Amino acid sequence: MWEFNSMDDVINGAPIISSGFAHFVSPFSGGTNNPYAAAVGVKGDSKAYNVVTLAKIDGMIFGMFQMSSAPVPYFHSLGSCNHAEDGFIAAFEVFAKTEFFNNIKYAHTLMRPKKKIGVTLKQTKSPCSKCAQKLIQLVEKYDLSVRIKAMIQYGGRNKEQRAATQMLMQNGIPVIPYNVVTMVSDRGPCVEKYNLTNFGHRHELKSLCFDEDELSKGLGQKDKNKVIKAVDMYFKVFDAKERELAEVLLQAMVEMELLDESEDFTEEQFRYVLDKHYKSQSDRLNKLDYEKFKKKLKSAAVANALEGFPTLESVG
């Protein structure tokens, strides 16, 4: 089911998984691969609790996953199911048996200081309670450093699902609000268009556009008004959902003693603490490491081709 591009192709910009989407599409493009159909729930819409996941491994885009509509679940060792996170886990476990993954493991032993394999999941919603448990198990099984960017708190005000998000935080998997509407719009603090990731892949947000003028070029006034109204709706929904998720994270950070419950802090101060917690994973590669890591990957591949290098177990 899962096919992967060669290591050289990935270093040169291809995603690891060779088929399917590897970026978020415009919310106005329609189609079943539109994550915003899942991110902005509509009453009576069966997609209201679906999740779309864009996964990266050590800065390399791994692939995009969403709930399987087929009767067959995604099969993996941690409890097969059909959620987007199950798709990622299933693909990851197959990838972990490849020579490419061997190269990644060995390249990490060549880095000084040695870093863990880093996984970033960018999701339309935070993981549900079952998927949260599986991700915690995945970290333990493969000794990974995982972090999550989520647009929306799964289940809204559902206590069980909120507890799942807090459980991820408490188990060393940071979660941070991911308001892509603001990130890619002129209304937000960063108006620079996304192009390439720090690793050199096409950025997953490159195709997104929430600029009313750009989206309504060439349209009559009636259609232009519809576009403006739709864009405004996305802003309002995502801003509200970002605040809702922030409430959940705030409670977790108080319980983790990262924040004082009695402290009267501003939203900017909260974001600073959250961002610091998110970026505190010093055991993973950062943007300054990627060029060095690419060279180590190539060295690992050469060593494997010429004489072989230690097994995954002995590399550790």
Instruction: Kindly indicate the confidence band of residue 218, based on its pLDDT and cuts at 50, 70 and 90.
Output: confident
| Burial call 49-76: b when 16+ CB within 10 Å, e when fewer | bbbbbbbbbbbbbbbbbbbbeeeeebeb
Tell me, what DSSP letter sits at residue 74? B
Q: How many helices (H) and strands (E) does the chain have?
A: 12, 5
What are the structural domain ranges in the chain?
A: 7-283
Per-residue pLDDT, 315: 37
- Of 12-16, 179-183, 188-192, 246-250, the range with the lowest mean pLDDT is 188-192
Instruction: Kindly indicate the confidence band of residue 314, based on its pLDDT and cuts at 50, 70 and 90.
Output: very low
E strand intervals along 237-302 = none
Q: Phi/psi of residue 213, each to 5°? A: -65, -45
Instruction: Tell me how far apart the alpha carbons of residues 31 and 46 are, in angstroms, rounded to a whole number.
Output: 15
Instruction: Tell me how far apart the alpha carbons of residues 150 and 126 are, in angstroms, rounded to a whole number.
Output: 5
Average pLDDT for residues 96-112, to the nearest whole number? 93
More confident of the two residues 101 and 182:
101
Average pLDDT for residues 185-204, to the nearest whole number? 78
Average pLDDT for residues 207-224, to the nearest whole number? 82
Q: What is the average pLDDT value for the chain, to the nearest integer?
A: 84
Q: Which of 48, 15, 22 is nearest to 124 (CA)?
A: 48
Specify the pTM.
0.89
How far are the Cα atoms of 89, 143, 171 from residue 107, in angstroms, in the given order?
Answer: 22, 15, 26
Please give the share of the chain, as a percent, with pLDDT higher than 70: 84
How far are the Cα atoms of 20, 48, 127, 289, 304 from residue 112, in angstroms, in the given order?
Answer: 35, 45, 33, 10, 20
User: In the predicted model, is pLDDT for residue 182 greater than 90?
Assistant: no
Q: Which of 242, 240, 239, 214 is nearest to 228 (CA)?
A: 214
Please give the share of the chain, as a percent, with pLDDT higher than 90: 45
Average pLDDT for residues 163-188, to the nearest whole number? 87
